[in-house]
Amino acid sequence: MRRTRQLWAGATAALLAAGLITGCSSGSDQPTSCADTPNGTAVAAAPGAGGSTDIATNPEIASGYRENMHPVRTGTYAVSAANPLATQAACGVLAGGGTAADALVAAQMVLGLVEPQASGIGGGAFLLYYDAAKRTVDAYDGREVAPAAATENYLRWVSDTDRTAPQPNARASGRSIGVPGALRLLELAHGEHGKQPWRDLFTPAIDLADQGFAISPRLAGQIAESAADLARDDNAKAYFLEPDGSPKKSGTTLTNPAMAKTLGAIASDGPNAFYTGAVAQDIVDATATTAGGRTPGQITLADLAGYQAKKRTALCTGYRDHEICGMPNPSSGGITVAATLGILSNFDLASLPPTAVDANGGTPNPQAVHLISEAERLAYADRDKYVADADFVPLPGNSPDTLLNRDYLKQRAAQINPDRAMGTAQPGDFGPVPLGTGPQPPEHGTSHISVVDKYGNAAAMTTTVESAFGSFHVVDGFVLNNQLTDFSATPTAADGAPLANRLQPGKRPRSSMSPTLVFDRGADGARGQLSYVTGSPGGSVIIQFVVKSLVNMLDWKLDPQQAVSGVAFGAANTPVTGVGGEHPAIDATAKGEHDPLVRRLREMGHQVSVDPQTSGLSALQRESDGWIGGADPRREGAVMGDGK
């Protein structure tokens, strides 16, 4: 414990000196030295001059774009997380001989403190883990579940006799709160893959909670946007707002003694200190509160005590000369990424690379954007109709193989007109099955962590509280999720057919989180060495963000930083194609009217939006003598590892 504290104290001082604690990096065009570790120098991705820290108000908070970020090369281990303090915590664990599973615990605890709008112990997560010694890929499901008392109309009205909507709305009421799963997931993964003691991994977060940390620009922007909703909850109001009700600003020091106490109990006694006892009772009470006119939720102590994380079979499919492994149901991410890539395997994307490739990834080829967006429309059409929690609603053929069959995806590819956008795709016909819910809105509150350790293990974990600050309920220092709003609010379609993603007791809402591991693939189809680790936050758009980065790296051979920095583009199953106007290669003035890429897409029938995109991608790639990584310039993340 003392050694861990010493490593953390030194790292924190170095981060302060480097100006990274606020998450506001600008003005440097070389990687920043962050901390000396026993195994070498940890280095962090750094932007070039011209980066923006302006905060815009969007469906998901936008933080500008840090131009000309450089990839980070490391030796035996690397980590990329959405906040440099979390990256540093994980890096310290790896430097001390920990595994990727150990590093995840440390990173998640810090993220829940410094990025509470996005993730934390009051939310859930999905994890893909590669065990190098066993050469296995495990999928861990820590998705929240609906309480046992929930009905199919739980989000729709107060009760069958009181058919008024939950107040102040479904999201900010207690009805949106699902039974949290992140801690049980981490407990399961650490028990199977960890080396360092569980309790030691909480030290960085506990120290930060006690000693304080500076509010980053991104967190400050989200507090300002959410101030009215945070004010309804006494704990949230006291923590995030000034006494006069104004939002706390960037640079303000936050301490969180309640969180320190909670984390201390979990560190000492394990997750049972969260799922039973005083903390569990506080969660039940906070969910059931009617303060501020809120409709109470119905989570019970039995719901919390009975929660179980699940190990599932990773969804691994081929793409060109690689094997792509993603998350299975209840996430739709793995199957939709795989379907998109399976459709794209019928096209020569390598012949359509971006032009003027620079540190920011260059300008995408309009034909490539067209083909990828059309493939995504077709994949989303099947996702929207068929994918939900397979423990309740089976996939067609009771297997993802039906939707990912090579011949079927070739037929789907044949529906793409190379010269004209289809607008909205129709799903495949697999007989009478429950219908899905259609597109989900973008989530505010999600994060991602990518890790590789010196033993060759790797982890990709996407973690979330759903919307920014979840349900706006704060208890014992942490935010409670609003994950149940990922269910359909109504249980049936207009014709009375049951929706696949309707709310049911004990069910897990459909997600789009897409943690991804990529392996080389031999000529015989056998899995080779691990080559890439990636993932992103972003709600249903996560799928598009991950596809963009995979194509950038696998088809167009961009390095990980170029891949994640590159223009964000893609489509769900609507006529709208997104082209991220925050990128310096895109002219977003006059709604993109003067941008050549946007104009060409519109000529092909795309309805193009140039609204800023808010991906939080990270990517790590194996090199012959180590790793190279990138962090998304649209957020405040960093890549660190041991120096070569």
Query: 3-state secondary structure string, 561-620?
Result: HHHHHCCCEECCCCCEEEECCCCCCCCCHHHHCCCHHHHHHHHCCCEEECCCCCCCCEEE
Q: What token pair was written down for 446?
A: 């999600």
Q: What token pair was written down for 122?
A: 């009051």
Q: Are 109 and 201 in contact (CB under 8 A)?
A: yes
CA-CA distance, 488 to 154, in Å (whole number)? Answer: 10
Q: Are 37 and 642 in contact (CB under 8 A)?
A: yes
Q: What token pair was written down for 183?
A: 């801690």
**Nearest CA-CA partner of 220 in 171, 259, 256, 254:** 254
331: CB partners within 8 A, 6+ apart: 126, 141, 143, 510, 511, 512, 513, 514
Beta bridge partners of 520: 322
Cis previous bond, 427, omega within 30: no
Beta bridge partners of 461: 127, 449
Cis previous bond, 560, omega within 30: no
**Nearest CA-CA partner of 9 in 207, 216, 252, 212:** 207
Q: Are 148 and 302 in contact (CB under 8 A)?
A: yes
* Residue 214 C-beta-side C-alpha neighbours within 13 Å: 14
CA-CA distance, 570 to 166, in Å (whole number)? Answer: 34
Q: Are 546 and 615 in contact (CB under 8 A)?
A: no
> Does an H or E element contain 214, and which?
strand 213-214
Q: Are 11 and 91 in contact (CB under 8 A)?
A: yes
Q: If you ran DSSP here, which 8-state letter would residue 471 be given? A: T
Q: What token pair was written down for 593?
A: 């009217």
The one-letter amino acid at 345? S
For residue 129, CA distances in Å to 109, 515, 539 come to 18, 10, 22
Residues with catalytic roles = 446
Q: Phi-psi region for residue 470, left (φ > 0), alpha (ψ -120 to 50) or beta?
A: left
| Dihedral sign, Cα of residue 352, residue 358, residue 359, residue 360 | negative
Beta bridge partners of 45: none
51: CB partners within 8 A, 6+ apart: 25, 26, 27, 64, 65, 66, 67, 633
